[in-house]
Each structure stands twice: as C-alpha cells, then as structure tokens.
Amino acid sequence: QLQLQESGPGLVKPSETLSLTCTVSGGSISSSSYYWGWIRQPPGKGLEWIGNIYSGGTTYYNPSLKSRVTISVDTSKKQFSLKLNSVTAADTAVYYCAKTGGVTTFSYYYYMDVWGKGTTVTVSS
C-alpha cells in the first residue's frame, strides 16, 4: 500500500531555507487522482496545514506561510518537496507529508488518509 517517508536536515539556521523531501512508495506519485501536501506541528502544539500540490502542479498554501513556501513534485524520483525560506525559531516543528486528497470517478475528496511518520526540524544557530 501507499507509504510516505520524509527526509531532510534536522537542524536549520535562522534566516536560511528549510528543505524537506517526501518519498512515495507502493503507488504512483504521478497519478492525477492524488493530491499531496505538508503539515507541521510545533512542540506541544496543534497541527498546521502548510500546503498542497495537485495534479498538473497547481499549489495551494496556508495564507500565513504563503510568502515563504514552495511545494513541488519530481515524478521521476517519486518525490515531492517543501521549501520554507527565511526560517525562524517559530518554524521549529515536526513536519509531516501526507496524501491530502484526490479525485475519484464521481467526486473529489479532501482528507489526509496516508501520512509519513514525520521528521523533526529545529531552527537554531
């Protein structure tokens, strides 16, 4: 079945760019049926949706992060990626990648049914 795995540096310096990759296995990343996205969770706090990428490359971002976020897909590597620039300590969190929705024969769906295990990113000098 579909599995997701996050990877990337666990420590990023303030003002630099956080870059994470999610590798998809057990299914096709290029399927036009799926949406992919990123969610984060600061220590001791709740979940925050970061953004999605849809088939064809259309992206939607959390308005609070939109100016700093880019999500992209590399179908040849079966990966999608997150870049968050100008990071501060407030961006310290566990970052999750997930399948965030898709299209069936009859309708769209908008829920996160497959999650990676998460990766901890700390912003500190």
Residues at the contact surface with another protein, assessed by CB under 8 A: 37, 39, 46-49, 52, 60-63, 96, 100-101, 109-113, 115-118
Q: How far is the CB of 118 from another protein (least distance, A)?
A: 5
- Closer by beta carbon to another protein, 42 or else 85: 42
Q: Do 83 and 18 meet the contact criterion of CB atoms below 8 Å apart? A: yes
- Closer by beta carbon to another protein, 43 or else 76: 43
Q: How far is the CB of 110 from another protein (least distance, A)?
A: 4
- Closer by beta carbon to another protein, 56 or else 76: 56
E-strand ranges in 1-125 read 3-7, 11-12, 18-25, 34-41, 48-53, 59-61, 69-74, 79-84, 93-103, 108-109, 114-115, 119-123
Of 59, 99, 54, 109, residue with least CA distance to 83: 59
Q: How far is the CB of 125 from another protein (least distance, A)?
A: 27
